[in-house]
Chain A
Amino acid sequence: MKHLATFCFALAPSLAHAQSVELNINTAIMGSSDVAFDYLSHRSAMPATGIDLGFKVTEQFNVLVGLHTGTVGAMVYSDAGNDRAVVQEPYGEYEEDYPYSESGFELASTVNQLQAGVRYRFDWTRRLKLTATGQAVFAHANLRMDEDIELEGSEVAVKYTAFAPGGLVVAGIEWSPIMVGTSRINVGIEAGYSRILAFNFTEVDGGDDPIEVGGLSLNGTLLRWYIGTRF
């Protein structure tokens, strides 16, 4: 956080001379190599949707700040042992054991990210630009478990929250299909790597000392695409 603040202060004088603004709405897929994330998503990926606001600081560089949020979740079934069924056959009936899983709980996590950094643009053609973006990330996550046991007022639900810093580096290509004067509509796609330190979830109401629930890490390939404007 300290480094992020220092970085923003250093760019402040340039912001005063900014001559253009960019505004993007984007969607990203953040991969994770954390095995615990598999409970939430078999694809081991967290989606994130958000908005980026950028200010031109030099001809090629924009300062970029953004807010992003994404949710992923699953229905978790747990082993319930064996049950016994009566099998009816033409010659009679018999009982047979079979393993079964019963509905367990809904599991979900929402990650909100505040991102700040710079985007570099290289003019390839008038409409096509290559981009490279680096952003620091400050993320807030919650982990929710909600047991839908279909009894009014009796369900068990828990929610844990945690904060974690991180960063991302991506490179991509941006196309401007519409250009009117100095304004343009941009469509871009970027890919790279993002890493957010582990969210360490703890139960704080269960006892005098926090009780560890576990950690969740987002670290892996990042793919994002956006549509926006620069003027």
Chain B
Amino acid sequence: MNPALFLPLLAFTGCDLWPSTTDSYMGSLWSTSIVTLDDGVYARLPEAGALVRIGTDQTWQVVDLKGAEPLSIRPDAGKNRLLVHAQWPVCEDQDSAIKRVDDCPENALSYRTELAIIDNGRRTATASIPTHMNAMTFTPDGTTALAFMDDASDSTNVSGPIVDLSEVILLDLDSGDTTSVSVGFMPKNILFTADGQRAVIMSRSKVVVLDLESQSITVEYPLTLDADIEIDPSAAVLTPDERYVLIAIEGTNDLYKLDLEVVSIDMEALDSSPSDMSADPENGQTVLVYRDRAQVDVITEHDFIERTTIGLDDPASDIAMGAGTAVLYNASNNSVRDIVLLNLGDHETTEYVASNPVDSLQLSPEGDYAVATLKPSSSGYGTGLDAYQRSRWGLAVADLLSNDIVSLVLESQPIGLEMVQTDEGAFALLLLSGFDSLIQVDLSAPGNYSTIELPSDPAGIDASPNGGFTIAHDSSLGQISFLDPATGTIKTTSGFATAGWMDEDTLPRRDSE
């Protein structure tokens, strides 16, 4: 037989183990917006419609949400429990042949939502909180959450046959029991007294005091008597003695002072509308800054408002409070590079000038350093090294015990910054976009940094309640590293994002369970 007869088979028998002739497109297998709790790291898997808990030793598990798909996740105040907004499909057609979501007739298919409370990897309670209640604050003891719709957030997924835009939902995190309280249109700022007994809730043209034990409104403060006038609080603070609530109003110079003991409202005329206010419990004062005025006001006496005005070189829009100090900076004006330390004991100021405008600022755990990420300046590049530095992202470290500030130039945009205090001092842990190392900056000598090599490019960093850090990587199949800052060691878990992604969308039949 002529072997040449078999030559045509060569056309048929080619076998490429990695054929890449096809391109497929899909959504991300996992979301790098992870939540680190004391029992593990939680991540959403949007393609699979699942939630996974990831451990340090290359292990993970799918959290049973009873057929629901997680839409968003957040930790509770103490990072002990996970709160999951989830939705699941309901098919009114009870035909037993309908096994998958796609099998259900379109007119019989609907979706329901819930807030699932996950404790140690298990769904311990659920609450009926619609997904458009996208903001949440927690009482000081962490047992109760107040959910409300934050119109400033990008989520405007209003759902339900009837939507009450004036409601706040109180959620018992142990039982999942909820109570709805109507507090006023678009509640946006909630303050708690230190004993956790009362919540002060601001909304349009109204402030209410909510007794958290009886879950009822005890006092209501109208901010205007004319229903045609809409007053939106822009900033609010509880005074250190917790007797007064100070409220700044958008577009006016009036400062509202609400007396929580003797129910009354006073108004104080300021020089402008404050952009940020903070209480100083150490000296019993309140600090106010203005986006458009180069001054800081310190209210030293709240009964009869007595304030001290201290001039600044440039306006400050934000406050970071230390122990008896306030660090003032401006994250909203690209022409301002000042960082100001205000000593609240003697009202002395120390000015630090960073190379570039501030993007964000954090204080070190013991308050000795202010660490700011700097953004490229939009104008005034200059020439030479000035231009080089101002056109790039940066990191500024201000030593608050001296007048020193060091501005470092970064290779790319920072995507994560965390502070850590060890026996050896204070450090900033910095992640840069597209840079596959974690940079550890010694805040006492910022130029002397060290790097810890990462397995791949990072996407974000999250602090763990046990003092460690979790780094999410820019990896399609899922990759998370666990950093022990004391030893600098990293453990990595990979591949968890594939869990369930090829599963059929099975229709959960909760009614029949």
Within 8 A of A (CB), among B55-100: 58-62
> Are B19 and A215 touching (Cβ within 8 A)?
no
Interchain CA distance A127-B479 in the complex, whole Å: 61
Within 8 A of A (CB), among B1-46: 1, 5-6, 8-9, 12-13, 15-29
Number of A-B contacts (CB under 8 A): 160
15 A/B residue pairs, CB under 8 Å, sorted by A: A74-B20, A74-B22, A75-B23, A80-B28, A108-B19, A110-B17, A145-B495, A157-B477, A158-B494, A180-B1, A206-B496, A212-B500, A213-B501, A214-B503, A227-B8
On chain A, the residues within 8 Å of B12 by CB distance are 25-27, 49, 225
On chain A, the residues within 8 Å of B13 by CB distance are 25, 27, 49
**With an 8 A cutoff between CB atoms, is B272 at the interface?**
no
Interchain CA distance A46-B500 in the complex, whole Å: 22
**With an 8 A cutoff between CB atoms, is A16 at the interface?**
no
Given contacts A203-B499, A206-B59, contact A106 B25 (CB under 8 A): no
> Are B503 and A71 touching (Cβ within 8 A)?
no
On chain A, the residues within 8 Å of B62 by CB distance are 211-212
> Are A40 and B475 touching (Cβ within 8 A)?
no
On chain B, the residues within 8 Å of A178 by CB distance are 1, 5
> Are B5 and A77 touching (Cβ within 8 A)?
no
Of A40, A49, A69, the contact of B22 (CB 8 Å cutoff) = A40
Which partner residue on chain A sits nearest B8 by CB separation? A227
Given contacts A73-B20, A106-B18, A147-B475, contact A206 B25 (CB under 8 A): no
Excluding A40-B22, A40-B24, A213-B501, 18 further A-B contacts by CB distance (< 8 Å) are A49-B15, A73-B20, A75-B22, A76-B24, A79-B25, A101-B25, A107-B24, A151-B455, A151-B456, A156-B479, A158-B495, A178-B1, A183-B1, A201-B502, A203-B499, A205-B58, A206-B496, A214-B500
Report the minimum CB–CB distance from A82 to chain B (whole Å): 13
**With an 8 A cutoff between CB atoms, is B110 at the interface?**
no
> Are A215 and B29 touching (Cβ within 8 A)?
no
Interchain CA distance A180-B1 in the complex, whole Å: 9
On chain B, the residues within 8 Å of A40 by CB distance are 22, 24
On chain B, the residues within 8 Å of A76 by CB distance are 23-26, 476
On chain B, the residues within 8 Å of A211 by CB distance are 60-62, 499-500
Report the minimum CB–CB distance from A5 to chain B (whole Å): 29
B-contacting residues of A (Cβ < 8 Å)? Answer: 25-27, 36, 38-42, 49, 69-80, 101, 104-108, 110, 143, 145-147, 149, 151, 153-154, 156-158, 178, 180, 183, 185, 201, 203, 205-207, 209, 211-216, 225, 227, 229
Interchain CA distance A36-B102 in the complex, whole Å: 14
Given contacts A106-B20, A158-B495, A185-B1, contact A78 B61 (CB under 8 A): no
Chain A's interface: helix, strand, loop or mixed, by majority? strand
> Are B24 and A75 touching (Cβ within 8 A)?
yes
> Are A74 and B502 touching (Cβ within 8 A)?
no
Interchain CA distance A77-B504 in the complex, whole Å: 21
Interchain CA distance A79-B24 in the complex, whole Å: 11
Given contacts A105-B477, A207-B60, A207-B61, contact A36 B502 (CB under 8 A): yes
On chain B, the residues within 8 Å of A215 by CB distance are 502-504
**With an 8 A cutoff between CB atoms, is B357 at the interface?**
no
> Are A149 and B27 touching (Cβ within 8 A)?
no
**With an 8 A cutoff between CB atoms, is B436 at the interface?**
yes
Report the minimum CB–CB distance from A28 to chain B (whole Å): 10
Which partner residue on chain B sits nearest A225 by CB separation? B12
On chain A, the residues within 8 Å of B28 by CB distance are 78-80
**With an 8 A cutoff between CB atoms, is B478 at the interface?**
yes
Interchain CA distance A206-B494 in the complex, whole Å: 10
Which partner residue on chain B sits nearest A183 by CB separation? B1
Which partner residue on chain B sits nearest A101 by CB separation? B25
Report the minimum CB–CB distance from A104 to chain B (whole Å): 4
> Are B18 and A73 touching (Cβ within 8 A)?
yes
**With an 8 A cutoff between CB atoms, is B498 at the interface?**
yes
Given contacts A27-B12, A77-B25, A183-B1, contact A213 B499 (CB under 8 A): yes
Which residue, of B5, B26, B436, has the highest number of chain A Cβ atoms within 10 A?
A: B26
Interchain CA distance A164-B383 in the complex, whole Å: 69
> Are A154 and B456 touching (Cβ within 8 A)?
yes
On chain A, the residues within 8 Å of B436 by CB distance are 151, 154
Interchain CA distance A74-B455 in the complex, whole Å: 25
On chain B, the residues within 8 Å of A180 by CB distance are 1
On chain B, the residues within 8 Å of A201 by CB distance are 502
> Are B500 and A213 touching (Cβ within 8 A)?
yes
